[in-house]
Every structure is written in C-alpha cells, then in structure tokens.
Amino acid sequence: MKTKITQALIGGIAATLVMTMVMFIGPMMGLPKMNPASMLSMMIGVPVFMGWVLHFMIGIIFALVYMYLFVPFLHFF
C-alpha cells in the first residue's frame, strides 16, 4: 500500500508532466510559447537541466502542500 506522501510525489510528477505538455502544445492553439525550464534557468542563472529539475521540484512541492493543507478537510465532502 502506498503512503500519502508517495501518492503526492507521484501525483506531483504526473501533474507537472501534463502541465508541461500543455505548455508545449499551447503555441499550436494560439497561446504564447512557454518553456518553464528555460524561464527558471534564465531567472536564476543556472543551466537548463537545473531549470527542469527545479520545475519538477516545484510541482512536487505543490502536491505535498496540497496534501498537507487540503486533504484533511476532504472527509467532510
């Protein structure tokens, strides 16, 4: 059985992958071009690889924060 932390990690990675794919497909639908890893790497002056690492770390952190803040209240619904 997976723990809630493991589920949040997997969910964070999956959600980040989906959101990244939407960002890359967006220009085909008329949205501006977005590359989150390049944006992050340019902002803090690191290589693009580190931008990708940071991008996925942020997605995982969002999932963990969501789990700790909101999941305890979900049993009411």
pLDDT tens for the chain, 77 residues: list them. 588 889 889 999 999 999 999 999 989 999 898 888 999 999 999 999 999 999 999 999 999 999 889 877 777 65
Owner of token pair 């008329």: 30
Output the pLDDT for position 31: 87
Say how far residue 63 (Cα) sits from the centre of its chain.
8
Say how far residue 66 (Cα) sits from the centre of its chain.
12
Q: How far apart are CA 42 and CA 64, in angstroms?
A: 26
Output the pLDDT for position 72: 77
Say how far residue 47 (Cα) sits from the centre of its chain.
19
Residue 36 CB partners (closer than 8 Å, separation 6+): 20, 23, 51, 55
